[in-house]
Structure 1
Amino acid sequence: MSINKNPIAITVLAALLTGVLSGCVVSRDPITGEKKRYGYSWAEEVAIGQEADGQIITQYGMYEDAALTAYVDSLGQALVSVSHLRRPGAEPEWLDTEFHFRILDSPVVNAFALPGGYIYVTRGLLAYVDNEAQLAVILGHEIGHVAARHTSQRAKNQILGQAALIVGAVGGQLLIGGRTAETVLNYGGIGTQLLFLSYSRDHETQSDELGVEYASFAGYDASEGAGFFESLKRLNDQSGREIPPFLLTHPDPGQREIHIKEEARIYADPEHPMRVNRTWYLGRIDELVFGENPRQGYVYEDRFVHPDLGFQFDVPAGFSVTNQPSQLVLLSEDGRAAARLMIDQDNTTAESAASVFKRRQGMTVIDSGVAVAGLLRVHFIVADTKVEGSEAIRFRIQFFEFGGNVYSFLGFTERADFAAYDFILRPMMDSFRALTDYSLLNVAADRLMIQRAPGGSEFMSLTTASTSRSLSAEGLAILNQLNTTDTLPQGRLYKLLSTGDAVR
């Protein structure tokens, strides 16, 4: 949980985008030039992207590195300039559409596009990319989704809410396997997970081909993209957890590797070698935060601690913790009780937050008042509400002020279970307090450390210089697109991890 303060939910996106929908429209396909039916006009696609962009940023958080962001944007704009949207004969509305490239503060290896020119890569993805040519293929792939209007094509073929389409775009991610549903938005349920895997295989294959084309036209050796997809395959294999075949819409990473090499041969010109720019790229990602950032909160022993916001609270035994930029969610082992902690950005005092909340429709207040929890003065409400398709819900919500912010801490169960679980949830809420342990307050994130190899060094022998133990030797090899037995020539750059953390 970082200082991004608004929660995001699929229903929020649906509400925000209400009114943008229209019937099917007929317009030119930017790739083929042929007339096609689409779910939206181009102007509507741009509006959808504009509306959803802020919500995506709130959900994930932006990675705060102005130089790296400018670099990714510069590369992205160069690729847009050679895309179908900027070629002779392009429609004026395509030419006028601005593209926006964002780096999201997420360790998940992911890239996705929203219609209308909004492209996102995570810092997790940038860590696993080995050179600029690979990044060009990835960004070109996402530009391809926008140029080919894949979201609008999907809207024509499926009757789905716009929120589902946005989630589908987010789910059009490069890393499919392992903890996809858990690590992207943490919305459970097979139906939602299916939305994450929304683009068809044909769409993904076309975007792969466009990614190779755009990267090649921009002067990059697009065959390098195959190495990135090989790393994805190794990451999938290492996780030991795979998405069932019936859920997969992305081509297998191994097959993508082969296809990308084949496509790149079309544009290869032996007389004019294309760029890779490995040294330049690695210099840009030196000191990039890697993995989960403990500065934004983590579980330590039986507590959740947040160094940046300076608080801690006790986590009940058996409760899982999901830490998102906009909220912190806890779930009991049996799934019958849950809690959520977030910052209330709409109110300046706990009293006003409680007063506003109490006036909400659709709930019956059982108890409310002011209490003292540790050193905090809390305004609490206990109420019943009804969620469609479930039993009556009873919840306790506490509002309090800490560190210049107004927090809300919500715990809820089915009404029949509330008495039993309130004995667990309320002490957890009441345990919220300042974090004072110096070693926990000063915990540091793992960061990439770019090193030069001495001549004839086996990679395995170089991994001992990594001061972090969050990756095994094999994990570091995958990070470098190497095998542990590979010998590095003198002066070759490679990635290790460093950290100043002595606690975790």
Structure 2
Amino acid sequence: MMMDRKSRIPMPAIVAAACLLLSGCDHSSQELDLPGVTKEERVAGQQQHAQILATMGGEYRGDADNYVRSIGAQIASAAGLRGQCNFTLVNSDVVNAFAVPGCFIYVTRGLLAVVASEDELASVLGHEVGHIVARHSARQRERSLWSLLGIFAVSLTGSDRLTRIAGRAVSLFGLRYSREEEYEADVLGIQYVSKAGYDPFAAADMLHALGRQERFIKATNGDNDAHSLPEWASSHPLPVNRIKRAIQTAHATGVAEHVRPEREDVYLNNVDGLLFGDDPQQGFVIGRRFAHPIMRIAFDAPAGFTLTNSPQAIGITGTGDIRGEFGGGKLEAEDLDAYLRQLIRELINSDIKQPLSVTNGMINGLSARTTRLNMTGSNGDAVLLIAVYNGGGGQAFHFVIAAPAEASSATIDQLFRSFRRLSDGEAAALRPRVMKVVRAAANDSNDSLSRQMADRNGRALFVALNGDAQVKAGGRYKIVRFSATSAH
């Protein structure tokens, strides 16, 4: 999370979450007979591009980004879309890849770390191109949850601005493909991968790799340093027989198994030195704790809560339909009350019309304000719970939490009271991590390499990144280590 932006773009999404509380295949590309990317789709994709980059941490520039682009260009050409697609590696540790209309395709560095070869990466890109060719992304707009959130936001606040923001979110994170759409994109992607000269069986290997990542997250129960939710798996369902179908589709290409190399070494050369986990510029999420070594701040979420890092805010998810964010902004003239009023104005797109009861006090030595907004709809009630803090140096920080009216305020109060400044020693102890590729020595084993991992769940993370086969002398493996570069 970075706090140098003047706007608080994510905040209306919290109101949208509160509104939700109130509301209660197998085709070939030839058979689809679809044209290339239309001018209208291209313009729409270009308009969303900057917003997506801002939300996803920006472009991760360098050799790895160029590597993704070069593979993507080959896949697009194989799909009959030469020169019509834009491929971007984004600076997010969330394991995800997604496509928006206009053939703008995004891969996170988190996903790049999880796959095991160039051919597996090509199969991810092929799959996303398949969604574009089959027009899945465009159709998802009409049935996405975020579209519904936009409607509820208008009914509750009269804000068409929330509708526009919710509509943009459809393209970013709201897409949830059906099983039939996933199968169709698998078939198309495998065809494109094979046509481009890659191993069509790598698609099944890629699904295995993503399955390992999902199992890692579940096994560590979020209590790990590689905390990212398996977003690709949640938006691209992984039913048990999907891998079997991918293998059958690969056989249908006519390419024999184990004939084409998967180019593991080329891939490993390009991910050696890749930033792993949180970017220190955005702070670190460690289990239920968020800590920012540069801003010298931290807070702890209650048990049962999940934190998700992004450049603009920290997403907060709790039990019982609790949703929220932590963010910050500039504090003018040390006026914390004015900051609170402006925050509320941005949230509801108008001045507050109900009596506002604000509690003034000190939390861990910081001046703070807390308040509660009641929101009533035809199908129930919800509340917005807000806390703002004077962080010093002209900087303010805030929590905005949307919850059902009956939710326990004690749990949210625990979250609000956990916010504090970091000591110099605590900030210095927070270091970024990078992926390093090592060659196993004759006496190395899975356990010995796992012990080199800069993660409290070293063995589980080693399996997630490398598979569970026994280490072979001379083989190359991905290890996560602390960077020699300080986080601040």
Report the TM-score when normalising by structure 2. 0.70
CA contact (8 A) 1:107 1:291 kept: yes
Show the counterpart of 1:20: none
- Which residue is 1:21 aligned to? none
1:265-284 equivalence runs, <5 A: 266-268=253-255, 274=260, 276-284=262-270
Match in the other structure for 2:23: none
Q: Equivalent of 2:474, from 491, 495, 501?
A: 491
Contact 1:363–1:385 (8 Å) recurs in 2: no
Residue 32 of structure 1 aligns to a residue in which SS?
A: helix
Measure the CA separation in 1 of the matches of 2:447 and 2:404: 55
> Is residue 131–residue 282 contact of structure 1 (8 Å, CA) maintained in 2?
yes
Structure 2: gaps of 5 or more residues? 17-26, 151-165, 222-229
Deviations 1:111-169 (A, max 9, x none): 221111121222221112111111111111111111221233456xxx536944999xx
C-alpha displacement at 1:293, in angstroms? 5.5
2 CA distance for matches of 1:492 and 1:42?
Answer: 46
Does the 8 Å CA contact 1:339/1:409 hold for their aligned counterparts?
yes
Q: Is the 8 A contact 2:119 2:262 kept in 1?
A: yes
* Aligned counterpart, 1:366: 356
Q: Which residue of 1 aligns with 2:314?
A: 328
State yes or no: 1:8 paired with 2:10.
Answer: yes
Q: Could you tell me whether the CA contact under 8 Å between 2:302 and 2:414 is conserved in 1?
A: no
Question: Paired residue for 1:407?
Answer: 397
Change (3 A) 1:9 1:219: farther
CA positional deviation for 1:198 = 3.3
* Aligned-pair CA distance for 1:285: 0.7
Of 75, 86, 98 in structure 2, the residue corresponding to residue 112 of structure 1 is: 98
Percent identity of equivalent pairs: 23
1:250 aligns with 2:201: no
Contact 2:44 2:101 in 1 (8 A): yes
2:375 counterpart (352, 364, 386): 386
Contact 2:324 2:400 in 1 (8 A): yes
CA shift in 2, pair 1:122/1:470, >3 Å: farther
Contact residue 329 and residue 395 of structure 2 kept, 8 A: yes
Quickly say closer, same or farther: Cα 1:54–1:149, change in 2 above 3 A. same
Contact 1:365–1:383 (Cα < 8 Å) also in 2: no
User: CA separation in 1, counterparts of 2:198 and 2:309?
Assistant: 36
Structure 1 403/328 Cα, relative in aligned 2: closer, same or farther at 3 Å? farther
In structure 2, the CA distance between the partners of 1:458 and 1:79, relative to structure 1 (3 Å rule), is same
Q: How does 1:61-76 map to 2 (within 5 A)?
A: 61-62=57-58, 64-76=60-72
Count how many residue pairs are aligned between Structure 1 and Structure 2: 430
Structure 2 residue aligned with 1:53 = 49
Aligned partners of 2:44 and 2:102 also within 8 Å: yes
CA contact under 8 A between 1:231 and 1:481: conserved in structure 2? Answer: yes
Q: Name the CA distance, whole Å, in 1 between partners of 2:401 and 2:149.
A: 29
In the alignment, does 2:129 pair up with 1:146? no
CA deviation after TM superposition for structure 1 residue 391, in Å: 3.2
What is residue 90 of structure 1 aligned with on the other side? none
Q: For 1:216, which of 184, 190, 194 is the aligned residue?
A: 194
- Cα distance between partner residues in 2 of 1:302 and 1:4: 24
* Conservation of the 8 A alpha-carbon contact between 2:89 and 2:107: yes
Flag the 1:261–1:33 CA change in 2: closer, same or farther, 3 A.
closer
1:459-485 deviations in Å (ceiling 9; x for gaps)? 4254255142444435413421342xx
**Are 2:136 and 1:134 aligned?**
no
Q: Aligned AA for 1:366?
A: L
Distance 1:10 1:214, change over 3 A: farther
Offset of residue 49 of structure 1:
3.0
What is the DSSP-based 3-state SS (H/G/I as helix, E as strand, rest coil) of the residue aligned with 2:436? strand
| 2:298 paired residue among 312, 315, 324 | 312
Superimposed CA distance per residue, residues 395-414 of structure 1 (whole angstroms, 9 cap, x where no aligned partner): 44436354564433446777
Written as runs of structure 1 = structure 2, the 5 A alignment for 1:77-476 is 77-86=73-82, 97=84, 99-153=85-139, 160=143, 163-164=146-147, 198-237=176-215, 239=218, 250=237, 252=239, 255-256=242-243, 259-260=246-247, 262-263=249-250, 266-268=253-255, 274=260, 276-292=262-278, 296-298=282-284, 304-313=290-299, 315=300, 318=303, 320=305, 322-325=307-310, 326-329=312-315, 340-344=325-329, 351=335, 353-354=339-340, 356-357=342-343, 360-367=350-357, 380=369, 382=371, 384-388=373-377, 389-391=379-381, 393=383, 395-398=385-388, 400=390, 402=392, 405-410=395-400, 424=414, 427-428=417-418, 432-433=420-421, 435-455=422-442, 459-460=445-446, 462-464=448-450, 466-473=452-459, 475-476=461-462
What RMSD over aligned residues (CA atoms) do the two structures have, in Å?
Answer: 4.7
Deviation at 1:103?
A: 2.5
- 1:258 Cα deviation after fit: 5.2
The 3 A distance-change label for structure 1 pair 279 and 248 is closer
SS at match of 1:231: helix
- The answer to whether the Cα contact below 8 Å between 2:204 and 2:243 also exists between their aligned partners in 1 is yes
> In structure 1, the residue corresponding to 2:121 is in which secondary structure?
helix
Do 1:318 and 1:333's aligned partners in 2 also have CA atoms closer than 8 Å? no
Amino acid at match of 1:202: E
Cα distance in 2 for residues equivalent to 1:151 and 1:335: 27
Post-superposition Cα deviations, 1:230-263, rounded to whole Å, max 9, x if no partner, equal 233344456369x9xxx99735355325524642
Structure 1, residues 212-236: CA drift from partner, whole Å, max 9, x if none? Answer: 2222222222323322222333444
Stretches of structure 1 that go unaligned for 5 or more consecutive residues are 15-28, 87-94, 168-186
Q: 1:63: how far off? A: 5.8
Q: Highest CA radius of gyration, 1 or 2?
A: 1
Higher relative contact order (CA 8 A, sep 6+): 2
Partner amino acid, structure 1, of 2:55: Q
What code does the residue aligned with 2:390 have? F
Structure 1 contact 362–386 (Cα < 8 Å) conserved: no
1:286 and 1:72 mapped to 2: Cα distance?
14
- Once the two structures are overlaid, the 10-residue window that deviates more, 231-240 or 117-126, is 231-240
Which deviations, in whole Å up to 9, do the C-alpha atoms of 1:38-88 show, x marking residues without a partner?
9xx9444434434443443333323644321122122212221221234xx
SS at match of 1:364: coil
Letter of the 2:184 partner, please give it: Q
